[in-house]
Each structure stands twice: as structure tokens, then as C-alpha cells.
Chains A and B, each alone.
Chain A
Amino acid sequence: MIFSAASVAVLGTMFMAMTRALRGPTVFDRVLAVNMFGTKTVLLMCLVGFAVGRPEFMDVAIVYALMNFIGTLTILKYYEYGDLAATEPAEDRLEEVD
């Protein structure tokens, strides 16, 4: 009962995050919304696993949390450095931030 209600709340938050991902003015809004969507997917897996009486879904949730984090950092590094193998930022791509 309460698991279903919390699942509906998490699904509403995922809907709002996806709306922001479609409407976001900058690319960083979209990255933020997709990262948030992935975190809520992990929570939804846990909640649905408890609601249907099969907590084994949480193994999938752990793997999905790892994939979500690595994917976010990969997108940001590619956008900022211009190359996934770079060790320092590309000079023509960003101004210095102190």
C-alpha cells in the first residue's frame, strides 16, 4: 500500500525531471535531469521490489546506480575536455575558472 503510494510519488518526480530534460535551455539542465531520472529509477526498483515481495531487484538497482554515475561523469568530461582520454582541459573550449 505505502510502497505503491511512494512509487507513484517517485514516478511523478521522474515525469517532472523528464519534462525539464525536454525543455531545458542549456545542455547542463538536460544532464542534471537525466542524472536525477536515473537516481529515481534506482529508488523505483527498490520500491517495486518490496511491493511485489521480491527484494532481489536491488542487485539490479546497485548496478544501475553505478552505470548512471559513470555515464554522467563521461558526458561531462567529454563536454568539458573534448576528448575522453584527455588529462587537461582543451584550451580553445573553456575560459579559466578561479
Chain B
Amino acid sequence: MEVALTALTWVFLGLGSILMIVGGVGVLRLPDFFSRMHGAGLTDTMGAGLILIGLMFESGLSAPTVRLVMILLFLWYTSPVGGHALAKAALSSGVQPIQDGEKR
């Protein structure tokens, strides 16, 4: 049982780290503001979710697990709100997304 929980922790933290790196590279390399928002949302949802769920497997049924669940639910509720506000402010101030066929 201990070995299984440790293996689950390793798997989840490894997948979360890979998604973190992928989202960071997307924020650096994508050509447009809205596509960069996609990269940041990737790290905010799946990266944070996998890392925090792996930490829950490590800590078991204890008080840190409650705090981890609180952090995870808070991130999953506030990241879409922040992203929506950011996209709305960007659109209303005149940032245009790249259309088909444009190169930048």
C-alpha cells in the first residue's frame, strides 16, 4: 500500500511537471496574446491539479489534505474568472487575435 501510494505520487508529480514545462514554453513561444493565454490556462488547471493531487496521495487522510483540496478548488474556480476578465479587457482595448493566413 505504501509503495502504491508512493508510485502514484511519483506518477502524478511527474505528469504535472511535464505539463508545467509545456505551458511555460507555450507562454514563451506562441505568437499571439490569446494563444499565450491558452498556455497559461493549461498550467493553471491541469498542471496545478496533477501536482496537488499527487501531494494529496503523499499526505494521506490528514489536515494538509484538507488544505490541498481548498487550494485546488480555489484555483479551479478563480483561474477561469481571471482569464475571462483578462480576455475581455484585452478585446475591449483593441488587441486583435491573429487571423488565418497571417504570419507574425
A interface residues, Cβ below 8 angstroms from B: 2-3, 5-6, 9-10, 12-17, 19-20, 26, 28-29, 31-33, 35-36, 39-40, 42-43, 46-47, 50, 55, 58-59, 61-62, 65-66, 69, 72-73, 76-77, 79-80, 89, 93-95, 97
Contact A80 B23 (CB under 8 A): no
Taking CB atoms and an 8 Å cut-off, the chain B residues in 36-77 that contact chain A are 36-37, 40, 43-44, 47-48, 51-52, 54-55, 58-59, 64, 67-68, 70-71, 74-75
Is B89 located at the chain interface by the 8 A CB criterion? yes
Contact A62 B21 (CB under 8 A): no
5 tightest Cβ-Cβ pairs between the two chains A and B: A9-B17, A13-B24, A16-B24, A55-B64, A94-B92
CB distance from A24 to the nearest CB of B (A): 8
CB distance from A30 to the nearest CB of B (A): 11
Q: Give the number of A-B contacts (CB < 8 Å).
A: 143
Which A residues touch B98, using CB under 8 A?
A: none
CB distance from B53 to the nearest CB of A (A): 12
**How would you classify the secondary structure of chain B's contact residues: helix, strand, loop or mixed?**
helix
Write 29 A-B pairs (CB below 8 A) sorted by A numbering. Answer: A2-B9, A2-B14, A3-B13, A5-B13, A5-B14, A9-B16, A9-B20, A13-B21, A13-B23, A13-B47, A16-B25, A16-B28, A17-B40, A26-B90, A28-B89, A32-B36, A32-B37, A39-B43, A42-B71, A61-B71, A65-B71, A65-B78, A69-B81, A72-B82, A73-B81, A76-B86, A76-B89, A80-B89, A95-B92
